[in-house]
Amino acid sequence: MLQVNSISFSYQTEKTINNISFSLEKGKTLGIIGESGCGKSTLLKLIYGLYDLEEGQIFWDQTEVLGPKYNLIPGMDFMKYLAQDFDLMPYISVAENIGKYLSNIDSKKKWNRVKDLLEIVEMENFFNVKVKNLSGGQMQRVALARVLALEPKVLLLDEPFSHIDNFKKNNLRRKLFTYLKEKQITCMVATHDSTDILSFSDEVLVMKNAEIIQFGTPQDIYTNPKNYYTASLFDDVNEMIIDGKIKYIYPYQLKPMATSEIKVVVLNSYFKGNYFLIEAKYNDKIIIFNSFKNLYRDDEVYLEIT
């Protein structure tokens, strides 16, 4: 349903988006991950129609996405884009911010819709609170509710959980992405958080230096990263030579054993809750692995790749 065909864009001379192509089916969620400055946010803005493409085309069904040269008000009306600055009105209430673009013909229906959205983002107790009195995380949740108000066909989210506390974030993500699936809303989320990618995306687009360097399912990209950069976006990673080939090994894939060919010397141990993350020296390189028991500096440990 969403088709991106060989698009390129630059703010000045250097390409910010360079010859990018992909497609996304209706109701699917695409996660976009990459280092800061790789072009994630710009890609979302181009798909929304905030900028004019230098090359290529973008289509939703048979409708071409066009930029400010062709639209008096930039942005496609069947899409919603949540920017990192939230764009809320501070001196009116949470409810008024969310209900601003809803019809006033049926007032009861309008405000019931606002209440339902506030329940999704767990802000139902802030119905009449002015936005200026909210924290950054609370504002972000209100902004999420507002972009859902009219049930867009396409939802574009730029770091949508960056200001939200971890104890709120996990449940909110589950609620939000379940809602999007139920409503068959196509979603693209640009993020630094691998949890957004692995747990909630149907497909993943990995970006570096304005280009796509890997595209596929979360499972495939996580288990078969093409390079160290891609693997490092999801976890700590060890670059090791196995059977003459470079392999990217996550910490959980190294298991302490009674004896093996991989002998390491412990440097540091970090408590992670139900396990310890161990930093060790192996053949003049630093490797990282998980251990269910604490290890101490200068301990010698044998490891096996599982």
| Domain containing residue 241: CATH number | 2.40.50.140
Residue 209 phi, psi (nearest 5): 50, 50
Q: What is the pLDDT of residue 73?
A: 86
In the chain, the amino acid numbered 188 is M
In this structure, the answer to whether residues 92 and 165 fall within a common structural domain is yes
If we measure between CA atoms, which residue out of 199, 137, 139, 197 comes closest to residue 169? 137
DSSP character at residue 130: B
In the chain, the amino acid numbered 11 is Y
Structure tokens given for 102: 């809803």
Range of the domain at 174: 2-228
> What's the total number of domains in the chain?
2
In this structure, the answer to whether residues 278 and 162 fall within a common structural domain is no
CA 8 from chain centre, in angstroms, equals 22
If we measure between CA atoms, which residue out of 202, 216, 282 comes closest to residue 249? 282
Q: What is the pLDDT of residue 305?
A: 93
Query: Which of residues 228, 256, 278 is at a domain's end?
Result: 228
Q: Count helices and strands (H / E) in the chain.
A: 8, 17
Q: pLDDT 10s digit of each residue in the chain, 306 long?
A: 899 999 999 998 899 999 999 999 999 999 999 999 999 999 999 999 999 999 999 999 989 999 999 988 888 999 999 988 888 999 999 999 999 889 889 999 999 999 999 999 999 999 999 999 999 999 999 999 999 998 999 999 999 998 998 888 999 999 999 999 999 999 999 998 898 899 999 999 999 999 999 999 999 999 999 999 999 999 999 999 888 899 999 999 999 999 999 999 999 999 999 999 999 999 889 999 999 999 999 999 999 998
In this structure, the answer to whether residues 255 and 219 fall within a common structural domain is no
Cα three-residue angle 83-78-129, rounded to 5 degrees: 50
pLDDT (tens digit, 9 = 90+) per residue, 139-150?
Answer: 999 999 999 998
In this structure, the answer to whether residues 193 and 269 fall within a common structural domain is no
In this structure, the answer to whether residues 212 and 258 fall within a common structural domain is no
